Amino acid sequence: LSVGSTAALSALVCALVMQAGYGWGFAVAAALGAGLVVGCLNGFFVTVVGIPSFLVTLGMMQFIRGFDMRVTYTNPISISNTTFNSLFGSGSLWGIPSLLFWSVIVAALGHVVLRYTSFGRQILATGGNRLAAEYSGVKTRRIKFLAFLLTAAAAALAGLLYSGMMQTARYNFGEGAELMVIAAVILGGTSLFGGRATIIGTFTGALMIGTINNGLIIMGLDVSEQMMISGAIIILAVAFARKRNS
């Protein structure tokens, strides 16, 4: 649940570092580092302290969002570095829009890791049946911790893409995206009960959600109507997933 606020945090860190006079490369590294810190904290509280992941990420979402607001006083921070904006959102790489380029790269890497590596199989085993995975020799705590790190890193990259596309960083980037991410994952074929997941399906689900959101905007629906339809989509996606699993 903390992916949206983590994206906002990474965008703000990147913008503030560049505003302080550092280069875009260092700013990107700092932003990714901030995301990894969030992932480490989530992983620690879940795997070491033993708090349920839902509660940890819910609390982290609120904490980071409040921290972002406190640091910026809700004011946007502009990003004028043309190289950064071109690489992360506003330009193109080898003729491919940078947003699409990074999305495909991350999806391809995730697909390879999840489908063709032992680490990917251990993730699925841990999600499907933790006790069975432990009896099979899988270090489930380590796997869950690494999964939190990877999730936070992906959220941080999303924050960079947000800021590059908008050429600014805002505390409310990713606000409300948490549930839409869950809907995209479910639509893509990932089981709510663990043990089954597909990166290509998730990528397709994200495209579907994005297309629907853009369609709602083009239709001229106001924010309240968009929220109602988005909520209905999430309910239908969960219902479909439960029916498929049964």
CA angle, residues 199, 137, 134, in degrees to nearest 5: 75
Which 3 state secondary structure label does DSSP give 192?
A: coil
Indicate if the pLDDT at residue 28 is higher than 90.
Answer: yes
Mean pLDDT of 157-186: 85
- Tell me what pLDDT residue 245 has: 63
Q: Say whether pLDDT at 29 is over 80.
A: yes
239, pLDDT greater than 90: no
Confidence of residue 161 (pLDDT cuts 50, 70, 90): very high
Across the range 35-51, mean pLDDT stands at: 94
What distance in Å separates the CA atoms of residue 174 and residue 158, rounded to the nearest whole number? 9
Q: How far is CA 135 from CA 129, 132, 148, in A?
A: 10, 5, 22
| pLDDT confidence of residue 100 | 86
CA atoms within 13 A on the CB side of 47: 19
**CA 223, chain centre distance (Å):** 22
- Asked whether the predicted pLDDT for residue 178 surpasses 80, the reply is no
Interval 2-17 mean pLDDT: 92
Q: What is the pLDDT of residue 207?
A: 83
- Report the chain's mean pLDDT, rounded to a whole number: 86
> For residue 193, what pLDDT band results from cuts at 50, 70 and 90?
low
Element (H, E) at 239: helix 223-245
pLDDT tens digit string along 11-22?
Answer: 999 999 999 989
Do the bridges between strand 96-97 and strand 168-169 make them parallel or antiparallel, or are there none, so unpaired? unpaired
Q: Which residue has the higher pLDDT, 32 or 115?
A: 32
**pLDDT for residue 244 is more than 70:** no
Average pLDDT (94-99) is: 84
Task: Give the range among 87-91, 115-119, 237-241 with minimum mean pLDDT.
Answer: 237-241
Check pLDDT > 80 for residue 75: yes
Percent of the chain with pLDDT over 70: 96
The answer to pTM > 0.95 is no
Question: Of all residues in the chain, what percent are helix, strand and coil, respectively (each to 5)?
Answer: 75, 5, 20
Residue 197's region, left for phi above 0, alpha for psi from -120 to 50, else beta, is beta
